[in-house]
Amino acid sequence: MKEKLQGEATPEQIAEWKEKHGKVFGYKVDNKICYLRTVDRNVYSLALAKVSTSPAKFNEIVIQNIWLAGCEDIRKEDTYYFGLIDYVEELMAKKKGELGEL
């Protein structure tokens, strides 16, 4: 039997989030998990507004606004938090095209 992760959501809850937000991501570390949705323009704008006061606030605002559920240690303990913020850019809903001089 698979060991339950701290903060683990039910399959039904994950299905609800997918219905509401589209993609849902799970971040696992040390038997803990949290769930995040993608970053949209509103969250990005809100986070950018805070950069002028403190660049570190950008990631904090993003995580705060895309967090769905999970083990609070990931948000509150620096070692886990710093690992999570490495993925903030990957959570931005974007499609990269090709840019070239014509």
Question: Residue 48's pLDDT is what?
Answer: 87
Per-residue burial over 10-39, b = 16 or more CB atoms within 10 Å of its CB, e = otherwise: eeeebeebeeebeebeebeeeebbbbbbbb
Question: Residue 100's pLDDT is what?
Answer: 82
Question: Residue 28's pLDDT is what?
Answer: 96
Question: Residue 19's pLDDT is what?
Answer: 96
Question: Residue 99's pLDDT is what?
Answer: 80
Question: Residue 1's pLDDT is what?
Answer: 61
Domain ranges of the chain: 11-90
Across the chain, which has 102 residues, the per-10-residue mean pLDDT values are 87 96 94 94 88 83 95 96 89 77 84
* CATH fold for the domain made of 11-90: rbstp2171 (3.30.2220)
